[in-house]
A and B are shown apart, each in its own frame.
Chain A
Amino acid sequence: MDKSRTQEIGTGLFIFLGFAALLFLATQTTDLEDYGGDSGYQVTARFDDVAGLKVRAPVTMAGVNIGRVESIAFDNDRLDAVVTLRISPKFNRIPDDSDASILTAGLLGSKYVGLGPGGSDTYLTSDSEIQITQGAIVLEQLVSKFLFNQAEAGGGSGSTGSASP
């Protein structure tokens, strides 16, 4: 009888240990608190290009994480991307003329949304839209623009340059 009692205690402790380990994994190794479903308010922003931006990407202001990208949708009429941002309720005094741009963390890092402060006295609230936006900068477009400008600027010299050798 006593043996089965210790056995049951051991089993209970084992199950407890297993769930404690799972809890440790879920809370210590992921930033689970940022996923708190409905906390915070939603703001939309329209971008002409969101290439590489993913749902749940961070939203930052002055480099500090203030929210996450909730959804990315395509507007069939205006042919642009509608990005819904969920911003933590702590940050409720962001001017409503702030601008949003899609930036890259590091040289090849993942994309995130950066907010730049505006000067308005009214603040962003639930369902307001950020008007000033700057879409993702695609490296290929930047390179082709640069090459195109080079060719434009030095049109004559470019042709003589290629003819001289």
Chain B
Amino acid sequence: MNLWLGLIEVVRKIGAASLFLVSILQQCPAALTRPGLISQQVHNAGVRSLVIIMTSAFFVGMVIGLQGYDSLSRLRQEDILGAAVALTLFKELGPVVTGLLFAGRAGTALASEIGLMRATDQLSAMEVMAIDPIRRIVAPRFLGAVISVPLLTATFNAVGILGAWFVGVSVMGVDNGAFWSQMQQYVDPSDIFEGVAKSVVFGVTAGLVAVFEGYNSPPTAQGVGMATTKTVVTTSILVLIFDYIITAFLLQGH
């Protein structure tokens, strides 16, 4: 019985979040008329995530370089390290790790910010003043996330490649020319497109979950805390599920 109620609750949340997405999208054109608000959110969500994204990317790149070198040298194929690292980063690790880090760094901030506005009745006050909180508060934050995540993913990929290059070429001694030429031979523009498509979906997911949980959080201190936790958990699960679905669809085309 409890399980049944839980299932209904999940379905209800999916429905509520979808309806919320529709109402955000309806307000997006209006929100776009105030680009200052959006740029402020891109700054909050994107620019402030740069440090964590770039640091993680460099170390993720270095570790793939190291592990890739170890695996490939057993097959005497060290030269394709560049191609292996690039495909791993562009198609999988870049978008997914960026999505997860973004949920932890920016998603939580968004959810708790909006949750606290709800708890302190700021959202109700706006409604009283005939300002639509979705237009003024939610839509710019959502758009900020949607704009930031693909850009952060591209940055992650580029820094990751540099990290792998550093370990592979400078430390392990893979030939510099082979590293880049093998990468250029095996990486197709469609692989980069796959990563960008994923990052857009993850940006929408991370942004929507954060604003949804924040907007609908119970107006208590505990409720705001719950909303931040739920944001991280839900975004992480959804990112990984969507990752599989998108990969399955895109690989089918080959």
A residues bordering B, Cβ < 8 Å?
4, 7-8, 10-11, 13-15, 17-22, 24-26, 28-32, 35, 56
Residue from A7, A14, A26 whose CB has the most chain B CB atoms within 10 Å: A14
Q: If A18-B155, A30-B187, A31-B184 touch, does A25 touch B46 (CB 8 Å cutoff)?
A: no
Q: Does B105 contact A (CB under 8 A)?
A: no
Closest A residue to B85 by beta carbon equals A29
Closest B residue to A8 by beta carbon equals B39
The answer for the CA separation of A15 and B39 in the assembled complex, in Å, is 10
A-B contact list, 26 entries, CB within 8 Å:
A7-B40, A7-B43, A11-B42, A14-B47, A17-B155, A18-B151, A18-B152, A18-B154, A19-B154, A21-B151, A21-B154, A22-B151, A24-B158, A25-B161, A25-B192, A28-B184, A29-B86, A29-B90, A29-B187, A30-B188, A30-B189, A30-B191, A30-B192, A31-B185, A35-B189, A56-B188
Residue from B86, B152, B187 whose CB has the most chain A CB atoms within 10 Å: B187
Q: Kindly identify, within residues 94 to 145 of chain B, every residue whose CB is under 8 Å from any CB belonging to chain A.
A: none
Q: Kindly identify, within residues 15 to 69 of chain B, every residue whose CB is under 8 Å from any CB belonging to chain A.
A: 39-40, 42-43, 46-47, 50
B residues bordering A, Cβ < 8 Å?
39-40, 42-43, 46-47, 50, 86, 90, 147-148, 150-152, 154-155, 157-159, 161, 180, 183-185, 187-189, 191-192, 196
**Is there contact, CB below 8 Å, between A10 and B43?**
yes
Tally A-B pairs: CB < 8 A: 76
**Is there contact, CB below 8 Å, between B184 and A30?**
yes
Closest A residue to B192 by beta carbon equals A25
**Is there contact, CB below 8 Å, between A15 and B189?**
no
Note all chain B residues with C-beta closer than 8 A to A10: 43, 47
Classify the secondary structure of A's interface with B. Answer: helix
**Is there contact, CB below 8 Å, between A22 and B154?**
yes
Closest A residue to B86 by beta carbon equals A29
Known contacts A4-B40, A28-B184; 7 additional CB pairs below 8 A are A7-B43, A14-B47, A15-B147, A19-B151, A21-B159, A25-B161, A29-B192
Pick the contact of A14 from B42, B90, B159 — CB < 8 Å?
Answer: B42
Note all chain A residues with C-beta closer than 8 A to B187: 29-30
Note all chain A residues with C-beta closer than 8 A to B151: 14-15, 17-19, 21-22
**Is there contact, CB below 8 Å, between B155 and A15?**
no
**Is there contact, CB below 8 Å, between A25 and B42?**
no
The answer for the CA separation of A26 and B195 in the assembled complex, in Å, is 12
The answer for the CA separation of A28 and B189 in the assembled complex, in Å, is 11
Q: Return A66 CB to nearest CB of chain B, in Å.
A: 15
Closest A residue to B196 by beta carbon equals A22
Q: If A21-B154, A25-B158 touch, does A32 touch B189 (CB 8 Å cutoff)?
A: yes
The answer for the CA separation of A25 and B91 in the assembled complex, in Å, is 12
Note all chain B residues with C-beta closer than 8 A to A19: 151, 154
